[in-house]
Amino acid sequence: MTDRYIYEADIWDVMALPDDWNACIDLMDGDMIYHWQEDLPNEYNHLVSDMRFLSIAMDRIDVYFEYGPPLDESFILESLKNYPDITTYRWFRAIPLKWWYDRPHFVSELVKNNYASYKSSPKKLLKDKSYALNAASINGAILEFSPRVIRNDLDIATAALESNPFAIHFLTKAMQSKMDASLIGHCLKIAKGDKKELYKIKDKKVISNIFVSLMNCGPSAKNSKSYFHAPEVRRWRWPATADPLFIDNDVILYAFSINPELISYIQISHLDALCIRLIEMSSSNPFSQIKEIQSAQKILFDAYLDKTKDLDFANPFEITGHARIMCDLV
């Protein structure tokens, strides 16, 4: 019964979105409306200003903010985890120019949540050493979007490698020769997919940064196939999305064991699929990683409840029942 349920059940069926939410999402995803931000019928105006609705819509379909996302810091920071393109400049800046200069804490949080936001920085700031050094100390993968003069700065390069080993992909061999040999050796092993070297890392920030690099599937992680689940299959979406389901099961378990807060990168639509993978792992080898799997399942169970608690239409008892089965807690 349980085995059949986990493959046939769907969290979206359990939640049962309101009719107006479903209708609006269908319009946003359909061919009848090209510029949904300006052409949606007035009857849906109350939804497009509802951050809960927009978060669900982004989870369900490819939502493209042609005229920029809502200027809500919390919404941008949270959405950025899975949709790095949300800060990308299009017809005009998705984020007001003055925010980059006047809100340093916000910019730091952007880089922390997903380093890909850094590419939207004003060009003047990208060349600023203090700005780049701060960002590199948060997540060194920002070197992907940095000019050569920044990549060739020893202080910035060192900070980048210490915060994210994958940053080594963006340093020349000449630059690497000027740096600490043990740090370079460690980063090269990580970049080549050495799991034993990865499992030596106990720092929450570094593990989180590696996790985000793998989610983004950027150029720095292209030679690390051992870190990916079915690496030959890549579901490309537009706008570009960061997908944690492409990360290898063992790496996810290890990352969660170091930093359980990484669950914030798992969207509602990811929960069922990840739970099934953990159950299959446990079934295929019941004596391997038992504690790690059970710990991850508990984290996922809590996520089902936490990610739906603000949705007043969702029945908490039905969500709890579904979560217990999917997390093998029955």
**pLDDT tens-place string over residues 130-148:** 999 999 999 999 999 999 9
Lowest mean pLDDT of 29-33, 67-71, 100-104, 314-318, name the range: 29-33
pLDDT band at 90; cut points 50, 70, 90: low
pLDDT per position as a tens digit, 177-195? 999 999 999 999 999 999 9
Distance in angstroms (rounded) separating the CA atoms of residues 163 and 65: 31
Determine the pLDDT at residue 316.
95
Distance in angstroms (rounded) separating the CA atoms of residues 156 and 135: 9
CA-wise closest residue to 119 among 255, 236, 240: 240
pLDDT band at 33; cut points 50, 70, 90: low
Distance in angstroms (rounded) separating the CA atoms of residues 250 and 254: 6
User: Is 50 exceeded by the pLDDT of residue 312?
Assistant: yes
Which residues contact residue 120 at a Cβ distance below 8 angstroms, ignoring those fewer than 6 apart?
Answer: 87, 88, 89, 93, 94, 95
> Of all residues in the chain, what percent carry a pLDDT higher than 70?
92
Lowest mean pLDDT of 11-25, 165-179, 222-236, name the range: 222-236
Q: Which residue has the tokens 């639509």?
A: 269
Question: What are 217's two structure tokens?
Answer: 């599937």
Determine the pLDDT at residue 230.
61
pLDDT band at 22; cut points 50, 70, 90: very high
Determine the pLDDT at residue 236.
43
Distance in angstroms (rounded) separating the CA atoms of residues 177 and 268: 45
Question: What are 161's two structure tokens?
Answer: 């490698």
Determine the pLDDT at residue 66.
72
326 neighbors 304 (Cβ within 8 angstroms)? yes
Report the pLDDT averaged over residues 98-106.
94
Q: Number of C-alpha atoms within 13 angstroms, CB side, residue 42? A: 0
Question: What are 259's two structure tokens?
Answer: 């930093």
Q: Number of C-alpha atoms within 13 angstroms, CB side, residue 244? A: 30
Q: Which 8-state DSSP code applies to residue 316?
A: H
Distance in angstroms (rounded) separating the CA atoms of residues 221 and 213: 7
Collapse the DSSP code of 199 into the 3-class scheme (helix H, G, I; strand E, B; otherwise coil) and give the result: coil
Total-model pTM = 0.92
Determine the pLDDT at residue 2.
61
- ∠ CA 21-309-307 to the nearest 5 degrees? 80
Distance in angstroms (rounded) separating the CA atoms of residues 62 and 21: 15
322 neighbors 12 (Cβ within 8 angstroms)? no
Determine the pLDDT at residue 13.
93
Report the pLDDT averaged over residues 80-88.
87
